[in-house]
Amino acid sequence: MRIDILTVLPELLESPLNYSIVKRARDKKLVEINVINLRDFTTDKYKSVDDYPFGGGAVMVMMIEPVYKAIEKLKSEREYDEIIYTSPDGERLNQKMANKLSMMNNIIILAGHYKGVDHRIREHLITREISIGDYVLSGGELPAAIITDAIVRLIPGAISDEQSALYDSFQDDLLAPPVYTRPSTFKSWKVPDILLSGNTPEIDKWRHEQSEERTKRLRPGLNSGD
Ligand code: SAM
C-alpha cells in the first residue's frame, strides 16, 4: 500500500510516522508513506502556499495551485483509490472506515492548514473528507498521522498474530477486555485469578464476557451502529 500525505508542514509528521508499528510496517515494505511538501509545488519566490480569503478576513487560505499541481503529478504516476481531505466537517473516522481504507492500494491525504483549503479543491479533486472528531485543530497534519496509523496497523503483517488487531476495541463492535502484566499482585491490587489459571478456553470466555460487559456499560450504542 502507498500513502502520500500532502502538507505545508512536513516536520509535524516526522515523529508520528517514524516509530512503533508504523515504522516497522514501513521497514518491512508493507506500506510506503511519502510526506510531500506543498511548498515544492509553488512558483512563488517566497514559497507561499497561502493567501488572503476573498470576502475579507485575517486568516489565510491554502491556495489552489500548489495543491492542484501536487495531486495532478501524483495522479499522472498511478491511480488513487481515494484522495482524502482532513476536515472537521468530514465523515467521522471510525474502525470500519479504517478497515476499508487499509484494503486500498494508493491513497492521498491532504492535510489542511490555516483557515482550510480553497473550496474548489474540495469540490473538484477530493473524493472523501474525514474528521477525527468534533473539535478544531490547528492543522490536518495530526489528523493525517492518526488516519495513517489507524490504517497501517490493520495491514496484514504490520502487527503479529498475538497482538492481532482483531482483538482491539471496535472490531466486532466490542470494546477490548482489560489487560494486565507482572507483578500479579501490587500492594493489595490483584490480577483476576482466571488470567493466572493457564486455562485458555476459560480465559477466552472471560475476555469475551468482559468485552461484552464493558461495551454494554461504556458504549451501549456500539452494537446498534450509533
Ligand atoms: N475553518 C475550519 C473549520 O472551521 O472547519 C477549520 C480550519 S483548521 C484551523 C485547519 C485545518 O486543520 C483544517 O482545514 C483541517 O484540514 C484540519 N483539521 C482541524 N480540525 C480537524 C479535525 N477535527 N479533523 C480533521 N482535520 C482537522
What pLDDT digit, counting tens, does each position of 27-71 carry?
999 999 999 999 999 998 999 999 999 999 999 999 999 999 999
In a domain, 216, yes or no: yes
What's the average model confidence in pLDDT over 177-188? Answer: 97
C-alpha cell at 85: 481531505
Quickly list DSSP for 150-169. Answer: HHHTTSTTSS-GGG-GGGST
Q: What is the pLDDT of residue 162?
A: 53
In a domain, 180, yes or no: yes
128 & 220 share domain: no
Q: In this model, does residue 185 exceed pLDDT 70?
A: yes
Residue 143: is it exposed, middle or buried by C-beta count within 10 angstroms (0-12/13-18/19+)?
buried
Residue 36 pairs in a beta bridge with 6
In a domain, 161, yes or no: no
Q: What is the 3-state secondary structure (H, E, C) of 46-115?
A: CCCCEECCCCCCCCCEECHHHHHHHHHHHHHHCCCCEEEEEEEEEEECCHHHHHHHHCCCEEEEECCCCC
Q: pTM for this one? A: 0.95
63 & 131 share domain: yes
d(CA 93, CA 99): 11
Q: In this model, does residue 225 exceed pLDDT 80?
A: no
Q: With a 6 A CB cut-off, is 91 part of the ligand 1 pocket?
A: no
108 & 184 share domain: no
Task: Identify which of 5, 136, 146, 149 to mutate to test ligand 1's pocket (most ligand atoms within 8 A of the CB).
Answer: 136
Q: Tens digits of per-residue pLDDT, 71-130?
A: 999 999 999 999 999 999 999 999 999 999 999 999 999 999 999 999 999 999 999 999
- Please give the residue that has the higher pLDDT: either 169 or 193: 193
Of all residues in the chain, the percent with pLDDT exceeding 70 is 97
Ligand 1 centre distance from Cα of residue 97 (Å): 19
Q: What is the pLDDT of residue 125?
A: 98
In a domain, 189, yes or no: yes
d(CA 49, CA 57): 17
Q: In this model, does residue 20 exceed pLDDT 70?
A: yes
d(CA 71, CA 109): 10
d(CA 122, CA 124): 6
In a domain, 163, yes or no: no
Q: What is the pLDDT of residue 86?
A: 98
Ligand 1 centre distance from Cα of residue 166 (Å): 30
Q: What is the pLDDT of residue 161?
A: 66
Ligand 1 centre distance from Cα of residue 194 (Å): 46
In a domain, 160, yes or no: no
The CATH number covering residue 127 comes to: 3.40.1280.10
Where is the domain boundary, 102, 123, 152? 152
Q: How far apart are the first and last CA of the chain?
A: 30
Where is the domain boundary, 101, 119, 152? 152
Q: With a 6 A CB cut-off, is 87 part of the ligand 1 pocket?
A: yes
85 & 195 share domain: no
What is the residue range of 214's domain?
169-224
127 & 179 share domain: no
Where is the domain boundary, 152, 181, 199? 152
130 & 27 share domain: yes
121 & 189 share domain: no
d(CA 83, CA 122): 10
d(CA 195, CA 202): 9
Measured in residues, the chain has a length of 226
Q: What is the DSSP letter of 30?
A: S
Q: How crowded is residue 130: how many other Cβ atoms within 10 Å of its Cβ?
A: 23
Q: What is the pLDDT of residue 160?
A: 81
Ligand 1 centre distance from Cα of residue 76 (Å): 28
130 & 217 share domain: no
144 & 174 share domain: no
Q: What is the pLDDT of residue 172?
A: 83
Task: Identify which of 87, 93, 113 to mutate to test ligand 1's pocket (most ligand atoms within 8 A of the CB).
Answer: 87
95 & 123 share domain: yes
Residue 96 pairs in a beta bridge with none
In a domain, 41, yes or no: yes
Q: With a 6 A CB cut-off, is 157 part of the ligand 1 pocket?
A: no
Please tell me the total count of domains within the chain.
2
Task: Identify which of 60, 132, 137, 142 to mutate to test ligand 1's pocket (most ligand atoms within 8 A of the CB).
Answer: 137
Closest residue by Cα to atom 7, ligand 1, is 115
In a domain, 65, yes or no: yes
C-beta of residue 111 within 8 angstroms of C-beta of residue 86: yes
The CATH number covering residue 184 comes to: 1.10.1270.20
Where residue 224 falls among pLDDT bands split at 50, 70, 90? low
